[in-house]
Amino acid sequence: MLCLLAHIPIHGQNPYIKHYTVNDGLPSNKVYNVFQDSRKFIWFATDAGAVRFDGTNFKTYTTADGLPNSEIMRIEEDTKGRLWLFHLNGMFSYIYKDRLFTSREEAFLDSLSNNMYFRRMYEDEDGNLYFYCNLNREIYVLEPDNKVLKYQLKDKLIYIQQRKNIGYENIIFKLLKHEGVFWFYLKGGIYMAKKLADSLIPAQTTLFYYRAFNQKKGNFFLDAHNTNLNVFKLYKYNGFNLTDSLHFDNRKPDEVITDVYEDKAGYIWLSSYFTGIYIYKHGQLIQNFDIGEAQNILEDHEGNIWIASLGNGVYRMHPSILTHQHMQSKEFADKGIKNLLTAEDSSLWLTDGSYLYLLHKNNLLRSSKPLSDGVINQIGIFENGQIILNEPNLALKIYKQKNQNNNKFDLHLQATINTPIKQFAIAPDKNKFTAWDNYTLYLHQMTKPVSLIHRMHSDMFTSIFYNAQGQLFAAGKSIFLVKNDSLIPFKPLEHLFGKTIRQHLNLNDETQLFNISGDSLWLFRADSLHSLSAHFERNVPSQIKSICFDRVSGLFMASNSHIYWSPNPMNALRGKIVALNSLDVRFNNIYQIAIQNENLIIASEDGLTRIPLEKLMNQTSKKPIAYFTQIYLNDAPVKYGQDTSIVRGRHNFSFTLNSIHYSPEKAIYAYMLEGKDTSWTFQQSSNIVYQDLRPGKYTFKFKARLQDSDWSNELQHFIDVKPTLVQHPVFFVMLVSITVALLVTFILRRKNKLHREQETAHQLVLLEQKALQSMMNPHFIFNALGSIQSYILKNNAADAGLYLSQFARLIRQNLNAIKTSMISLDEEVDRLRNYLDLERLRMNNRFSFIIDIEEAIEEDVLIPTMILQPIVENAIWHGLATLEENGLINIFFTKITDKTMRIVIEDNGIGTEQAALQTKRKDTHLQIGMNLTLKRLELIGKKLNVKTSITTSDIHPGKPFPGTKVEIIVPYVFEAAEFEEKK
């Protein structure tokens, strides 16, 4: 295109260029447009949807998300924050607050559709959006109330065409509105009109315009052809003012410039569809990157340059790409630089393992032939210019440079040590060096052949080094001072005995630095060791492979991929904190670093990199922009922009934290929940969960930072956990009140129950006493004594004795019965039988009786005492009293449940009605006995939670002697304690 100077093939390894493709997360490598929104997200318009990128994560909007068409040609943003998606099929959609809107949600989007898609959007001061730049000469206006107005240029401008793309003759490349007048930048010149519907008035027609390229702050470039001079130029406008023009002598007439951009540093980037990216400064070509089918160029807020391409994805170029010098591995036969050596004449000696290179005044020379099979790993140079090359475990060779021509030079072999040398160390005077294998030290001087210094059989050497005074040290299990061919253990370094010294540096005449196994750095001064690593303000996250030192700029360290530096390493000698900075460029396998001419030199698999120390020391790391990827409440997403969540009851909050930054470093997050946490929590994980917070108001806060950046602004989300009914203070007051009330009620009820139980027990005692009185009434005793007297008067002593014996036994049984409320069934039946026998004797055998107990009733059951006798007595005195003979009383005991039994008393007497009449005329003590029985039975039933009853009926109603049937339901227990526990 313009010039092949500084042409850089982009396919090579370059740590300053990040290439994003489908392998990194893009949905397609066909990217029409790259754009940064007001929130600082990067957007890609692809043929597979719109892609949002935060530097780490890709989020793609496709037809599956509702897009009417997946081929997005352009992305623009209006002042409302709507991101407009220009579809290839002429349709529009937009994204607002992370939500996609199409014609299904916004009907006016249908009115914006066109069969020829628009390429540009312009917003005036009133908020009107103008969509323009299509082949139909159309302008669609979207007013703030979403009303759509459509215009088409009235005049078809005709002018001479000297170029092939005549189809673009009526395209509006640029549209502006200034002081109420519309300005049109067309191929045929610049025109103006008061209204969009008016005819165009020429303002300038001497130039043909082919593209307009928008810049920031209202600036833009016009790609123009001066037909009079037949010169192609780029004209730079600031608003309506022409401020500059750029002329490129070597530009081809059919060259297609797809974008022009002037970055913050004043470099002008040109994107050519066919030949790549060109960078100019003050009209001079600085660099050319071979990016095929390049599209637009974007500079983000961090200074990165983004370039879209049709077919190759997206390229991100580091802000330092033009100030740091990098020679790609392609310059070194597609191999990385394994070792380097700085020379006093500002030259650099380099090796890729096979060839030796000399870089002097930006001129790169290579040895005429390979010097090894790719294993050279160390270069040294004597004061006389002799070059030392070491092939570890193979041989060490000394060369002298000879002829130099055609970017090549020859080397003459001077000497060889044909032993498996590990490494060598050159003395400070550069007149001698010492090499070593596992057990042997070799000394070589410029004027003398190689000589053996010492052979050691009991130990193995792991490294050797010279101090600033030229003293030689050898390290193995101990560190020895080599003096007069003797090995003297060096006690001041005893702490490092047995450790592997990867690298040694003399920082000055008094201070040495040891890199121990890449894990720790130690300063040695005045026979004292100081841990430098322990004083770093933060840990170095990976092993240190190489170190170098500059007395002004400080200490530089390289891991496999990172560069670190400390401006004040000597602070460790005074016990102070040592600052630690890092470069936000990632290299592929760094082998060695060095300082030369105020530049940091980096040898890596990527090639050779030179960084001006001034640029490195003044590097500032942009702080990331924190944002919530998503907030979930009970697994449901919180609405975008909602800064407060109100919840009641059981819940869980999930926060997904993220940050926008385009550095290769990982972000560090700090978060806390005010109201619960008392300090910040630091982590790289981005998912935070809280569950079932106590009622109250909380504020979730988080921020992000990179290793060397400041903290981002804090983001907050407010949480209001409302108390449930059971968590509300009023509820606790009510609960306490109810509890107290229930407790008082329980105590009162318990007290009343005890009182009632005591009253019941008292009543039972009284009733039992009255029952006894009823059974032992004077009438019964008088009749019994009368019967005894009758037997005596009749000289029937035997019967009188028998009767008296039974009577006495009944009296004794009745007196025993009052001692307990429950009595065994056998005892009660025995007492009842005794009573019936006495009554039958008294009545001269005018009745008989039967007592039958069902077999299902256990023998040891207990029933209420003194229940049956009053009823049986009533049957005898009222039921059978009028019968002269053949009276009958039947008593049956049958089981109902495990707690109750039925007792049936039958007689063949006068029946219930006649008995009732007699009761009114006779003594009422029998009726009193019946009533006492009813009351006692009722009280006992309540105690045992058993329903009791006494029912009376005629057996044969209507007959002269219908007979009476009394049915009693009584409780029973097996032990008296069961009844007593109820008391």
- 500 touches 517 (CB < 8 A): yes
Using 50, 70 and 90 to split pLDDT, how confident is the model at 137? confident
Q: Answer whether residue 199 is part of any domain.
A: yes
How large is the average pLDDT for residues 2-29?
77
Between 42-46, 534-538, 952-956, the lowest mean confidence (pLDDT) is in 952-956
CATH number at residue 633: 2.60.40.10
Instruction: Tell me the CA distances in angstroms from 789 to 228, 310, 792, 839, one per residue in order.
Output: 171, 141, 5, 15
Q: Answer whether residue 113 is part of any domain.
A: yes
Separation of alpha carbons 405 and 101, rounded Å = 67
* Better pLDDT: 761 or 50: 50
* Better pLDDT: 146 or 218: 146
Residue 159 is predicted with a pLDDT of: 45
CATH number at residue 824: 3.30.565.10
Which amino acid is present at 545?
A: K
Q: Helix or strand or coil: residue 660?
A: strand
Query: 712 phi and psi, to 5 degrees?
Result: -70, 170
Residue 169 is predicted with a pLDDT of: 54
The answer on 768 and 707 residing in a single domain is no
Q: What are the structure tokens assigned to 584, written together?
A: 């936000």
660 lies in which domain range? 625-727
- Closest Cα partner for 53 from 38, 70, 36, 67? 36
Cα four-point dihedral sign 813, 816, 821, 827: negative
Question: 621-653 pLDDT, tens per residue?
Answer: 889 999 999 999 999 999 988 999 999 989 999
Is the model's pLDDT at 255 over the cut of 90? no
Q: Give the DSSP per-residue string, 319-370.
A: TTTTTSEEEEGGGGTT----EEEE-TTS-EEEE-SS-EEEEETTEEEEESS-
End-to-end, the C-alpha distance of the chain in Å comes to 116
Domain end among 583, 618, 653: 618
Residue 777 is predicted with a pLDDT of: 58
The answer on 128 and 160 residing in a single domain is yes
Residue 4 is predicted with a pLDDT of: 35
Q: In whole numbers, what is the pLDDT of the chain averaged over residues?
A: 87
The answer on 177 and 154 residing in a single domain is yes
Question: 910-968 pLDDT, tens per residue?
Answer: 887 777 776 555 555 456 667 777 887 888 888 888 898 999 998 888 888 899 999 99
Is the model's pLDDT at 732 over the cut of 90? no
Percent of the chain with pLDDT over 90: 54
Measure the CA dihedral 502/507/509/512, to 10°.
-40
Question: 166-211 pLDDT, tens per residue?
Answer: 444 568 889 999 999 999 998 888 999 999 999 889 988 778 888 8
Question: 806-854 pLDDT, tens per residue?
Answer: 888 878 877 776 677 788 889 889 988 988 888 888 888 889 999 999 9
Is the model's pLDDT at 347 over the cut of 60? yes
Residue 591 is predicted with a pLDDT of: 96
How large is the average pLDDT for residues 293-317?
96
Question: 851-895 pLDDT, tens per residue?
Answer: 999 988 987 899 888 788 888 888 887 788 778 888 999 999 999
Cα four-point dihedral sign 790, 792, 798, 804: positive
Residue 758 is predicted with a pLDDT of: 57
Residue 248 is predicted with a pLDDT of: 72
Q: What are the structure tokens assigned to 824, written together?
A: 């065994």
Is the model's pLDDT at 759 over the cut of 70? no
- 460 touches 436 (CB < 8 A): no
Task: Give pairs for 856-859: CB < 8 Å, separation 24+.
Answer: 856/894, 856/895, 857/825, 857/893, 857/894, 857/895, 857/901, 858/974, 859/825, 859/826
How large is the average pLDDT for residues 218-237?
84
Q: Answer whether residue 278 is part of any domain.
A: yes
The answer on 263 and 176 residing in a single domain is yes
Domain end among 269, 300, 320: 320
Q: Answer whether residue 967 is part of any domain.
A: yes
**Residues composing the chain:** 983
Using 50, 70 and 90 to split pLDDT, how confident is the model at 897? very high
The answer on 757 and 690 residing in a single domain is no
Task: Give Cβ neighbours of residue 52 (< 8 Å, ≥ 6 apart).
Answer: 41, 42, 43, 58, 59, 60, 61
How large is the average pLDDT for residues 61-75?
96
Residue 160 is predicted with a pLDDT of: 42
Q: What is the spatial order of strands in the sheet that 313-317 belongs to?
A: 17-20, 313-317, 305-309, 294-299
Q: What are the structure tokens assigned to 43, written together?
A: 């957007």
The answer on 604 and 689 residing in a single domain is no
Instruction: Tell me the CA distances in angstroms from 674 to 261, 289, 357, 629, 648, one per residue in order.
Output: 46, 51, 61, 21, 19
Which amino acid is present at 212?
A: A
Separation of alpha carbons 488 and 472, rounded Å = 11
Residue 923 is predicted with a pLDDT of: 52
Separation of alpha carbons 82 and 72, rounded Å = 16
**Highest mean pLDDT of the ranges 56-60, 152-156, 844-848:** 56-60
The answer on 300 and 177 residing in a single domain is yes
- 294 touches 311 (CB < 8 A): no
Q: Answer whether residue 532 is part of any domain.
A: yes
Residue 881 is predicted with a pLDDT of: 77
Render the burial of 519-550: b for 16+ CB within 10 Å, e for the rest.
ebbbbbbeeebbebbebbeeebeeebbbbbbb
- Closest Cα partner for 950 from 936, 942, 959? 936
The answer on 107 and 147 residing in a single domain is yes
Using 50, 70 and 90 to split pLDDT, how confident is the model at 165? very low
The answer on 830 and 858 residing in a single domain is yes
- 444 touches 464 (CB < 8 A): no
> How far does CA 508 lie from the centroid of its chain?
50
Between 46-55, 801-810, 964-973, the lowest mean confidence (pLDDT) is in 801-810
The answer on 937 and 798 residing in a single domain is yes
Residue 766 is predicted with a pLDDT of: 52
Percent of the chain with pLDDT over 70: 90
The answer on 824 and 678 residing in a single domain is no
Strands 17-20 and 31-36, by their bridges, are unpaired
Q: Answer whether residue 423 is part of any domain.
A: no
**How many structural domains is the chain composed of?**
4
Is the model's pLDDT at 318 over the cut of 80? yes
- 292 touches 11 (CB < 8 A): no
Domain end among 594, 618, 642: 618
Measure the CA dihedral 27/28/30/31, to 10°.
20
Residue 764 is predicted with a pLDDT of: 52
Which amino acid is present at 7?
A: H
Between 582-586, 642-646, 752-756, 900-904, the lowest mean confidence (pLDDT) is in 752-756
The answer on 834 and 892 residing in a single domain is yes
Is the model's pLDDT at 776 over the cut of 60? no
Residue 12 is predicted with a pLDDT of: 58
Between 515-529, 551-565, 571-585, 715-729, the lowest mean confidence (pLDDT) is in 715-729
Q: Answer whether residue 384 is part of any domain.
A: no
Residue 624 is predicted with a pLDDT of: 96
Q: Answer whether residue 734 is part of any domain.
A: no
CATH number at residue 224: 2.130.10.10
Instruction: Tell me the CA distances in angstroms from 180 to 153, 725, 970, one per residue in order.
Output: 18, 64, 112
- 560 touches 608 (CB < 8 A): no
